[in-house]
Structure 1
């Protein structure tokens, strides 16, 4: 494991106070100034990106009056993420990851400038917004693998679970707070306000990337490849059962037990609610995810990461099945929050395994696969849940999906028994 701290690392074996074992472990922020800047920059810029995402949706609807046109925004983002996610990871294993992260962040900043300029000039062509969203997704597909694969170079292995919990907190808070702030700024000063604030937010990420040292992939003394190879990364993953299982487990949860597409129908049919009820249903998993990240201090003591992933994914499926059985709104929200908390725990250990068990020369490509799975899995889950609800009922789709997730996890555990015995003290891919 290559680890090159630039500031003295705080030992992870020191006894911690009780509150530190319960609440999120902030040791990575104290241990590495580079990581601290990177985390802060990513947090600020992610809030800005979520503001922009909402502003684009609002602007598209204002121009077209079509919900289909708004839905097409997501498609414009998804296709580049899937298409360039794998390739972006391959590039991250070939070039200086700092430069790749910096250039892609500059590109995303300029695209936000373009959105602001179009809004100020009152450009009313929807295709312009679609094109910018697609290019933003390309920048993200290049930036995310580079940034994620740098973290094991900034922190020792024992601090990776805490770092991934902090990353989860960034993602969830950004998705909760960004749209809310975006709606406020658009309402007060127009679309250009959200876009310009996003530009300012990007400066934090640019500064963090600028201050990093060079981050060339470590090829173990071998000559670095001249061309990025996606196939080499896929062949590597095909021969590494533990790493492969992290993706299978995540797909079991996101594809089989993802009921968010049914929330509008569930709000009316089960709870007699309206749009506000849909908002509560959509927010509940995020609230659980935030709580899971805030009270994640104990995760650093867990060594059986494979077993933790299996248990947390099964808990997601079981919570979704229980949600499908209840007709009391607040109890349903509780089960959705439990599912969100379980998802955070799963994400922490899946991310840690990808960072700790993979050689540095392959981390970018594996993070590229991670981007594709995270982007595509929930969309497939939406399609499957919607289809099952049309063929049967929403209750059958939700309960059956949760049960199928639990069964899939049990089958995966039986298929790869060594995965449950994976030990973080001896990470084997």
Structure 2
């Protein structure tokens, strides 16, 4: 009885099977170090920029600069990763990010702070981070077998969200003690762990690289070919459509300050209510990651992804109608959990389904959706909330998410029937 209970427990806690692959284990452990010790700049850069300018608009503008740079890097690096050694690209990107943090530390230590210089470094951060996200998505399928991709993506998401929770909290505690500049140095040093892990990887040359048409710019032609490949696959289009629906219609983060103040009685300028709203979603993601063994062994990846996205829409509606803070927090925790399932199977499907010669470009498109979708959602929610009110907009967004996902799943039978063993095109 006790042995069976232990086996059942191992079946629902974190699925650690990919850690049996040495290359992935080294990369994951290094990423865990960097997720916390290398994420201080997420809080340090906006803090420094606001201190220098006294303007939240400047902070917002720098975020858009970073996003544009990230999108460009994702598309460009995705094309490059399909014709070059992915280990070399990943190594160069991490070294570039470490040098960016070193430059941020230098300008702070030398007291040579300049808004234009800081914005340029923010752009460099976006370029290197976009390259890392895209190339890493193309590298992991070469390190672990296809049946372990859901578990590998779950482990990666677990450390990423742990960093998003712990990193800013530690940064807030450390800024008064060591100053902003030292946080940049911590980020640079933490990245050295990932540089070491990437350097230990084997060479990851493309299995088969398609040649561009004569007379075309090679990289642009490869990007175009990647979008054609994507458009030709109903399943890949459906995967992106489901994810984009959830991110654009159902991600009301921009409305949290208004909800905290006007619905849940928080103070002007932010308070515990606002902090709890922001923390609830990643807490749900992290909790689901700790129980990833309960679903990463499942075979019906397409149906699970669609169901998770539809459930996210329902949870968003619950957030919109919640009149009490504890109900809203419960909804966000549940939302984080189902979105962990959604992202785990989205990555697994796209990685397993895509031919290796196109994997970099498809990962680039996914990176654009992953980062650009919530930003577009922020714009959409912010613009409509002033007309309809935040709670109405949140409810409508949740309904649109569930309806859109349901239509996509109904129209694209390949998504409903896709299993782990389904061959790619």
1:168 counterpart residue number: 157
Maintained 8 Å contact 1:85/1:372: yes
My pick for the range that moved more, 43-52 or 351-360, is 43-52
* Structure 2 CA distance for aligned equivalents of residues 93 and 46 of structure 1: 27
Structure 2 residue 17 is matched with structure 1 residue 27:
yes
1:290 counterpart residue number: 286
* Structure 2 CA distance for aligned equivalents of residues 140 and 389 of structure 1: 31
My pick for the range that moved more, 20-29 or 141-150, is 141-150
**Out of 363, 375, 379, which is 2:359 matched to?**
363
**Out of 157, 168, 171, which is 1:182 matched to?**
171
**Out of 385, 388, 391, which is 1:392 matched to?**
388
* Structure 1 CA distance for aligned equivalents of residues 373 and 135 of structure 2: 21
Maintained 8 Å contact 2:70/2:131: no
2:89 counterpart residue number: 100
* Structure 1 CA distance for aligned equivalents of residues 24 and 193 of structure 2: 13
Structure 2 residue 130 is matched with structure 1 residue 141:
yes
Maintained 8 Å contact 2:32/2:160: yes
2:223 counterpart residue number: 230
**CA offsets, 1:404-423, max 9 Å, x none?**
11110111112212210111
**Out of 67, 77, 81, which is 1:78 matched to?**
67
CA RMSD, Structure 1 to Structure 2 (Å): 1.7
Structure 2 residue 300 is matched with structure 1 residue 301:
no
**CA offsets, 1:46-99, max 9 Å, x none?**
324420121111111111111111222211211111222111111111100000
Q: Which runs of 4+ in 1 moved over 3 A?
A: 222-228
Maintained 8 Å contact 2:355/2:424: no
Superposed, 1:17-416 pairs within 5 Å as 17-29=7-19, 31-219=20-208, 227-228=218-219, 229-274=222-267, 275=270, 276-416=272-412
* Structure 2 CA distance for aligned equivalents of residues 82 and 364 of structure 1: 14
**Equivalent residues, number:** 413
* Structure 1 CA distance for aligned equivalents of residues 186 and 400 of structure 2: 43
Structure 1 position 185, deviation (Å) = 2.1
**CA offsets, 1:362-411, max 9 Å, x none?**
11111101110011100111111112211111111011110111110111
**CA offsets, 1:149-201, max 9 Å, x none?**
11111111111111011011011111111111222222111111101111110
Maintained 8 Å contact 1:251/1:377: yes
Structure 1 position 238, deviation (Å) = 0.5
* Structure 2 CA distance for aligned equivalents of residues 280 and 59 of structure 1: 24
* Structure 1 CA distance for aligned equivalents of residues 161 and 57 of structure 2: 26
Maintained 8 Å contact 1:249/1:409: yes
* Structure 1 CA distance for aligned equivalents of residues 123 and 423 of structure 2: 37
Maintained 8 Å contact 2:302/2:416: yes
My pick for the range that moved more, 412-421 or 206-215, is 412-421
Maintained 8 Å contact 1:217/1:360: yes
Maintained 8 Å contact 1:92/1:146: yes
* Structure 2 CA distance for aligned equivalents of residues 271 and 186 of structure 1: 29
* Structure 2 CA distance for aligned equivalents of residues 141 and 184 of structure 1: 28
Q: TM-score scaled by structure 2?
A: 0.94
* Structure 1 CA distance for aligned equivalents of residues 414 and 11 of structure 2: 28
* Structure 2 CA distance for aligned equivalents of residues 387 and 428 of structure 1: 40
* Structure 1 CA distance for aligned equivalents of residues 383 and 128 of structure 2: 32
My pick for the range that moved more, 139-148 or 377-386, is 139-148
1:9 counterpart residue number: none
2:3 counterpart residue number: none
Q: TM-score scaled by structure 1?
A: 0.93
Specify every segment of 5 or more residues in structure 1 that has no aligned partner in the other structure, as ranges.
Answer: 1-15
* Structure 2 CA distance for aligned equivalents of residues 331 and 207 of structure 1: 45
Maintained 8 Å contact 2:70/2:128: no
